[in-house]
Amino acid sequence: MDFEELQELIRIFESTDLSEIEVEEEGRRIRLAKSMDLETHVIPAKTVRAEEERVTPASTLDAATQALLAEGLVTVDSPMVGTYYATSGHGVPPFIQTGDTVDANQVICIVEAMKIMNEVVCKVPAIVERILVRNGEPVEYGQPLIAVRPLA
């Protein structure tokens, strides 16, 4: 690789989102790497009293949601700790709305964890009765996100 080819490789590398590239040619190895600026967000830990630790998820739901569950509804719960998103991006309509009919394995929301967007699906065909969290709200593992009425 001559000097002009090396300059061209550097120019192309700098114009991409790649963070690292390594090229080996005729026994010579060239490695290019960009420094990564990482954002750090500090989220204060919640203090939990001993009696709060014994609270079941159903008892943390409001009275209206508990009434819906008593009517035979089931909840779609968060598969992980993260942030709930009702839509895949700004200006995009939400995956579901109250009253929608959803199919089994249909994506109904996203839970973002560590910059990875994880699709959450409804396991059974159902009607969406209530969305229990707001867009952009932090959620816990196992937290009910959506109450649905199974169709079967």
For residue range 16-60, list pLDDT tens digits in order: 777 778 888 888 888 887 765 545 455 565 554 544 444 444 445
CB neighbours of 58 closer than 8 A, spacing ≥ 6? 66, 69
Query: What is the pLDDT at residue 82?
Result: 92
Domain with 19 in it: 3-33
Alpha-carbon gap, residue 117 to 82, rounded angstroms? 9
Residue 117 lies in a domain: yes
Q: What pLDDT is recorded for position 138?
A: 94
Contact 123, 104 (CB under 8 A): yes
Q: Is residue 71 part of a domain?
A: yes
76 and 145 within one domain: yes
Helix, strand, coil share (%) of the chain residues, nearest 5: 20, 35, 45
Kindly state whether residue 130 falls inside one of the protein's structural domains.
yes
**Which tops the pLDDT comparison, 1 or 89?**
89
Helix (H) or strand (E) holding 37: none
Q: Are residues 78 and 131 in the same domain?
A: yes
Residue 51 lies in a domain: no
Average pLDDT over the chain reads 79
Q: Cα(first)–Cα(last) distance of the chain, in Å?
A: 66
Residue 47 lies in a domain: no
Q: Are 110 and 121 in contact (CB under 8 A)?
A: no
Total Cβ atoms within 10 A of residue 49 = 7
**How many angstroms separate the CA atoms of 87 and 21, rounded?**
34
